[in-house]
Amino acid sequence: MSRAMNRKEGLPRIESAGLDGWMVRLFERIDEENLAWLGALARRCEAEFGAMLVDLVPSYTTLLVVFDPLRLSPASARQRLAALLVDLEPETVAAGGEVRELPTWYDPSVGPDLERVARHAGMSVEAVIDCHAGREYRVFALGFAPGFAFMGLLDERLEVPRLDTPRQKVPVNSVAIAGRQTAAYPAVSPGGWNLLGRTAAHLFDRDREGFSLLKVGDRVRFVPVDRATFERQGGDATPVECHK
């Protein structure tokens, strides 16, 4: 395999993940470049395994391949995976995911951690917003909840730890940061991330083709909008404290 798979680290590796799965470990570290490789492997698995493929779970450095062990023995599945890895090439940039814009209203009423994050970063609230909205993020993984996309990497200056005590109820569509990642909550849930604002985007919709707005590999921008625009786009401006 290639330069990007550091052979000294013994990568890629195919690891046991139970009777019906193999974990393909391609990288040791989180990096945007991983996405093109993981995407290429996912595509190959779909073509190779066809109807014997049960699920694929891509994450930062790995691809979990779940298959039907009664139709394809674990040993044969492993062999096939090993063969897919031999001449794997990364996807080209053009195939590297959709570009998505998330209109976001940054305001302390819906982003109650804005001011604390600003103090922590030694920046003004405006600068925090500019900084968060000022770069394109990649979706590294979906998990935690349907449509919950882990995106990165955040500007180092905005790196703040999770809350000591998670909120019981984070309102739907809250835009949040933790560590060097950012996300938007597709549904009401408990959560310990720092809330900066709220998006008007529909993140998860059971009636939409593909269900989740964001998918692994997508390129995402948060676009600041004012309250009037946010509400016109269907955003819910109810303050966080009223969601308890």
d(CA 206, CA 44): 27
70 near other proteins, rule: CB under 8 A? yes
120 near other proteins, rule: CB under 8 A? no
Among 2, 10, 18, 169, binds other proteins (CB under 8 A): 18
Least separation in angstroms between residue 133's CB and other proteins is: 24
Stretch that binds other proteins, among 97-105, 135-143, 164-172, 233-241 (CB under 8 A): 135-143
d(CA 107, CA 229): 13
Tell me, by CB under 8 A, how many residues bind other proteins.
46
Q: What are the percentages of helix, strand and coil residues in the chain, rounded to 5?
A: 30, 30, 45
Among 216, 220, 225, 240, binds other proteins (CB under 8 A): 216
d(CA 38, CA 147): 19
75 near other proteins, rule: CB under 8 A? yes
205 near other proteins, rule: CB under 8 A? no
Least separation in angstroms between residue 1's CB and other proteins is: 19
DSSP 214-227: --TT-EEEEEE--H
Which tokens go with 11?
């990568």
Least separation in angstroms between residue 144's CB and other proteins is: 6
Report long-range pairs for 188-191 (Cβ below 8 Å, ≥24 apart). 188/243, 189/144, 189/145, 190/166, 191/166, 191/167
Site for other proteins in 140-179 (CB under 8 A): 141-150
19 near other proteins, rule: CB under 8 A? yes
Q: State which residue, 129 or 139, has the beta carbon closest to other proteins.
A: 139
Q: State which residue, 76 or 124, has the beta carbon closest to other proteins.
A: 76
239 near other proteins, rule: CB under 8 A? no
Q: What is the largest CA-CA distance in the chain?
A: 59
Angstrom distances, CA of residue 155 to CA of 26, 113, 179, 180, 190: 25, 17, 10, 7, 25
Angstrom distances, CA of residue 41 to CA of 35, 48, 64, 91, 181: 10, 10, 11, 9, 24
β-strand 13-16 against 21-25: which pairing, if any? Answer: antiparallel
Stretch that binds other proteins, among 81-89, 123-131, 139-147, 155-163 (CB under 8 A): 139-147
Rule CB under 8 A: which residues touch other proteins? 13, 15-21, 23, 25, 29-30, 54-64, 66, 69-70, 73-75, 141-150, 187, 204, 206, 211-212, 215-216
